[in-house]
């Protein structure tokens, strides 16, 4: 465990002097099934023990930010779906939130509720899929993921009703959403929300008490609170270590200050805590969803004053962030008064959460590396952009 | 909660008399004003912002670069105080967004600027103060070409190691043959003709 943030770099005191001839250099990835996509790690091993680990990115790099500078503000909206393709709706929201801040656009109340509902449904998708992938990383490939994907498909059906696409939703607009909720959608969503806890009970019963899972995840990959904050780690990873930092509470964007929900906190920050945080956050998301669906007002789904054609935000810059399912998802925009952003930057939580990957893995076995990587919860579409 | 910039300025100036920094005004509706910090005092200012208990900006959320080939454009987005002479040539800028997790304050926007865009593209690395800058500074080095002195592992991160240019710069020209296409698009072929000599007829 690294406790002193003033020593920013990983050192492994357990292995003071190593014989270079005895070290094994392994290139883990980019097509290893448990690396969550095209992601590579250059691992140096002393026997089974990790001595050094350098992540290699960029296999999926398409310079999203440069492309966005060449098109209008709204044209980037469908492209944000492709960043973290598990949760397109939170990406949409983060981008719309930043542009609204940049241009000073008000969002009608109904649109805010629709955003909260879709974002929390997205969180349900992300966290259930996380549990499935995480068990896959541990060798329980298939069963847990299929359970998770069965439920995910029900939510994706709702999204298809609402946005026309299962995953590439392109739903948010500056000042609201693209279309209103279809007739009967809220009732269907309520049914799903009411049935979801039963699935969660089932999944938790199957997973969290399992001796093998506990043996492989507890006391694996823990890093101190201070080092996590210093390393820019956000989201469930940070809260698993006991830091109460949820942007929905700290800096309530949208209408999150109207809902009653708790921020689950872990104690040690190991891989087990990281998994349990996701389970507990699922319950809190369900609580938010129930309140939002109950309170859902009538009204406009988009601000009629927000322009679509020839949309030119005033000169200035804005940084806005939301609590994405993977961590702090921020957008930094610079406007020079034209129809295209002068600078468009995504603050990708997956990318920055990998900063401490080496620190978490040093001194552990190679088999633990895959679990730790799984517990970070990355999506390569967002890491490489 | 947005930070109180004049208060932060007085505190930093009291603690670090040698530090050079100025407040820049943001004309947009977001009203996120920023502090322009001279490169040589950047590390000490950030160290102070992190360690002073009444400020406690312990979380560097976002680090990003901006390419300003025309300095007047930068002055329009982040307006300096009256009477500040404009920069002589274009520059690369690095923007930092800091938060305080304990005081729940942010974002504190810091900016640092290189002297020009060609030779003097050096800025001090913030990795010794904020570890979260490690990959983000590598990304800025890769895409913008800012060289961070003191960075422990400054390599390309998204582009491949043999790549020569910095694609996020405003004057970057994408190559014609970026992708092998068995039947290239007409537009790509037309563009390629401007750069490559005509193929000899066989």
Mean pLDDT of A132-155: 86
Give the tens place of pLDDT for each residue, A258-317.
999 999 998 988 899 999 999 999 999 999 999 999 998 988 888 888 877 888 999 999
Instruction: Please tell me if residue A224 touches chain B, with a CB cutoff of 8 Å.
Output: no
- Classify residue A341: in a domain, yes or no: yes
pLDDT at residue B97, rounded to an integer: 93
* Chain B contact set for A382 (CB, 8 A): none
Give the tens place of pLDDT for each residue, A328-377.
999 999 999 899 999 999 999 999 999 999 888 888 888 888 889 889 88
3-state helix, strand, coil in chain A (%, to 5): 50, 15, 40
Instruction: Please tell me if residue A371 touches chain B, with a CB cutoff of 8 Å.
Output: no
Give the tens place of pLDDT for each residue, A112-122.
999 999 999 99
Instruction: Provide, rounded to the nearest whole percent, the portion of chain B with pLDDT above 70.
Output: 90
Give chain B's domain count: 1
Give me the residue from B26, B60, B127 closest to A316, CB to CB: B26
Contact yes or no for A352 and B132 at CB 8 A:
yes
pLDDT confidence band for A1 (50 / 70 / 90): very low
Count CB neighbours of A110 within 10 A.
19
Mean pLDDT for all residues in chain B: 85
Q: Which residue of A has its CA nearest to B73?
A: A336
- Classify residue B201: in a domain, yes or no: no
Contact yes or no for B76 and A342 at CB 8 A:
no
pLDDT at residue A190, rounded to an integer: 93
Most A CBs within 10 Å, among B158, B166, B178, to test the A interface = B158
- Classify residue B202: in a domain, yes or no: no
- Classify residue B40: in a domain, yes or no: yes
Question: A6-9: long-range contacts at Cβ-Cβ below 8 A with a sequence spacing of 24 or more?
Answer: A8/A230, A8/B127, A8/B128, A8/B131, A8/B134, A9/B152
pLDDT at residue A16, rounded to an integer: 54
- Classify residue A34: in a domain, yes or no: no
Give the tens place of pLDDT for each residue, B81-130.
887 888 888 899 999 999 998 888 878 999 999 988 888 899 999 999 99
A31, pLDDT greater than 80:
no
pLDDT at residue B198, rounded to an integer: 62
Mean pLDDT for all residues in chain A: 87
Contact yes or no for A332 and B127 at CB 8 A:
no
Tell me which of A123 and A28 has the higher pLDDT: A123
A7, pLDDT greater than 80:
no
Instruction: Please tell me if residue A88 touches chain B, with a CB cutoff of 8 Å.
Output: no
Residue found by looking up tokens 């304050």 in the block? B105
Q: How far is B5 from chain A (nearest CA, A)?
A: 16
Q: How far is A87 from chain B (nearest CA, A)?
A: 21
CB A90 within 8 A of CB A61: no
pLDDT at residue B190, rounded to an integer: 75
B201, pLDDT greater than 80:
no
The CATH number of the domain where A377 resides is what?
A: 1.10.645.10
Give me the residue from A328, A343, A354 closest to B61, CB to CB: A328
Give chain A's domain count: 1
- Classify residue B199: in a domain, yes or no: no
- β-pair type (A343-347, A316-324): unpaired
Domain span at A79 = 64-384
Domain span at B31 = 5-193
Contact yes or no for A251 and B128 at CB 8 A:
no
Give the tens place of pLDDT for each residue, A162-217.
998 888 989 999 988 999 999 899 999 999 999 999 999 988 888 888 888 888 88
Instruction: Please tell me if residue A229 touches chain B, with a CB cutoff of 8 Å.
Output: yes
pLDDT at residue A116, rounded to an integer: 93
Contact yes or no for B130 and A335 at CB 8 A:
no
Instruction: Please tell me if residue A136 touches chain B, with a CB cutoff of 8 Å.
Output: no
Size of interface A-B (CB pairs under 8 A): 130
Contact yes or no for B28 and A318 at CB 8 A:
yes
Listed by number, the residues of chain A in 107-126 with a beta carbon closer than 8 Å to a beta carbon of chain B are: none
Tell me which of A245 and A20 has the higher pLDDT: A245
User: What is the 3-state secondary structure of B33-84?
Assistant: CEEEECHHHHHHHHHHHHHCCCCCCCEEEEEEEEEECCHHHHHHHCECCCCC
Give me the residue from A319, A356, A384 closest to B62, CB to CB: A319
- Classify residue A40: in a domain, yes or no: no
CB B29 within 8 A of CB A104: yes
- Classify residue A52: in a domain, yes or no: no
pLDDT confidence band for A52 (50 / 70 / 90): confident
- Classify residue A45: in a domain, yes or no: no
- Classify residue B198: in a domain, yes or no: no
Q: Which residue of A has its CA nearest to B137?
A: A352
Give me the residue from A233, A250, A315 closest to B28, CB to CB: A315
Separation CA B24–CA B26 (nearest Å): 7
Q: Which of A16-30, A38-52, B40-54, B172-186 has the lowest mean pLDDT?
A: B172-186
- Classify residue B95: in a domain, yes or no: yes
- Classify residue A205: in a domain, yes or no: yes
Give the tens place of pLDDT for each residue, B147-188.
999 888 888 899 888 888 888 998 888 776 655 555 666 777
pLDDT confidence band for A5 (50 / 70 / 90): very low
- Classify residue A38: in a domain, yes or no: no
Q: Model's pTM, two decimal places?
A: 0.89
pLDDT at residue B182, rounded to an integer: 58
A20, pLDDT greater than 80:
no
Phi, then psi, of A117 in degrees rounded to 5: -65, -50
- Classify residue A262: in a domain, yes or no: yes
Tell me which of A20 and B50 has the higher pLDDT: B50
The CATH number of the domain where B22 resides is what?
A: 3.30.460.80
- Here the tokens at position B73 are 């454009």
Instruction: Give the list of residues 6+ apart from residue A251 with CB closer than 8 angstroms, or none.
Output: A321, B1, B104, B106
User: Which ranges of A208-325 does DSSP label H, i.e. alpha helix?
Assistant: 211-217, 225-230, 236-240, 247-250, 271-295
pLDDT confidence band for A8 (50 / 70 / 90): very low
DSSP state of B166: -
Question: How many residues appear in chain A?
Answer: 385
- Classify residue B131: in a domain, yes or no: yes
Contact yes or no for B143 and A63 at CB 8 A:
yes
């Amino acid at each position: 465990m690294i406790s002193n943030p003033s020593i920013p770099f990983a050192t492994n005191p357990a292995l003071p002097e190593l014989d270079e001839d005895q070290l094994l250099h392994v290139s883990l990835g980019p097509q290893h099934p448990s690396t969550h996509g095209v992601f590579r790690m250059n691992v140096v091993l002393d026997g089974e023990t990790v001595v050094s680990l350098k992540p290699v990115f960029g296999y999926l790099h398409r310079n999203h930010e440069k492309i966005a500078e060449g098109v209008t503000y709204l044209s980037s909206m469908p492209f944000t779906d492709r960043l973290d393709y598990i949760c397109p709706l939170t990406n949409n929201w983060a981008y719309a939130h930043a542009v609204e801040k940049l241009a000073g656009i008000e969002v009608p109340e109904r649109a805010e509720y629709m955003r909260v509902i879709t974002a929390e449904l997205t969180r349900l998708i992300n966290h259930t899929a996380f549990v499935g992938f995480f068990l896959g990383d541990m060798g329980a490939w298939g069963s847990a993921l299929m359970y998770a994907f069965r439920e995910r498909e029900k939510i994706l059906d709702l999204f298809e009703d609402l946005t026309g696409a299962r995953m590439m939703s392109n739903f948010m607009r500056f000042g609201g959403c693209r279309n209103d909720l279809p007739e009967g959608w809220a009732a269907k969503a309520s049914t799903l929300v009411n049935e979801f806890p039963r699935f969660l009970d089932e999944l938790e019963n199957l997973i969290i008490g399992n001796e093998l899972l506990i043996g492989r995840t507890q006391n694996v990959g823990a890093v101190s609170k201070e080092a996590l904050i210093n390393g820019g780690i956000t989201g469930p990873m940070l809260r698993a270590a006991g830091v109460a930092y949820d942007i929905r509470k700290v800096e309530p964007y949208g209408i999150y200050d109207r809902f009653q929900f708790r921020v689950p906190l872990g104690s040690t920050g190991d891989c087990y805590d990281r998994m349990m945080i996701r389970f507990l956050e699922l319950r809190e998301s369900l609580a938010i969803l129930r309140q939002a669906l109950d309170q859902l007002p009538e009204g406009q789904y988009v601000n009629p004053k927000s322009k679509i054609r020839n949309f030119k935000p005033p000169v200035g810059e804005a940084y806005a962030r939301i609590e994405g399912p993977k961590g702090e998802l921020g957008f930094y925009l610079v406007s020079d008064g034209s129809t295209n952003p002068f600078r468009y930057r995504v603050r990708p939580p997956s990318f920055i959460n990998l900063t401490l990957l080496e620190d978490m893995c040093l001194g552990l076995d190679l088999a633990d590396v895959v679990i730790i990587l799984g517990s970070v919860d990355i999506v390569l579409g967002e890491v490489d952009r | 909660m947005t930070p109180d910039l004049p208060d932060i300025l007085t505190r930093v100036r009291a603690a670090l008399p040698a530090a050079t920094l100025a407040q820049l005004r943001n004309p947009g509706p977001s009203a996120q004003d920023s502090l322009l910090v001279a490169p040589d005092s950047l590390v000490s200012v950030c160290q102070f912002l992190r360690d002073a208990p009444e400020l406690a900006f312990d979380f560097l959320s976002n680090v990003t670069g901006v390419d300003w080939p025309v300095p007047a454009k930068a002055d329009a987005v982040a307006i300096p105080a009256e009477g500040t002479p404009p920069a002589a040539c274009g520059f690369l800028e690095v923007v930092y967004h800091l938060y305080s997790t304990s005081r729940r304050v942010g974002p504190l926007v810091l900016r640092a600027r290189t002297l020009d865009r060609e030779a003097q593209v050096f800025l001090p690395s913030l990795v010794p103060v904020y570890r979260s800058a490690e990959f983000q500074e590598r990304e800025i080095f890769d895409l913008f070409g800012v060289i961070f002195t003191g960075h422990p592992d400054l390599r390309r991160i998204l582009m491949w190691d043999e790549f020569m240019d910095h694609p996020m710069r405003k004057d970057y020209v994408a190559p014609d043959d970026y992708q092998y296409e068995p039947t290239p698009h007409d537009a790509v072929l037309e563009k390629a003709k401007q750069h490559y000599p005509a193929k000899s007829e066989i």
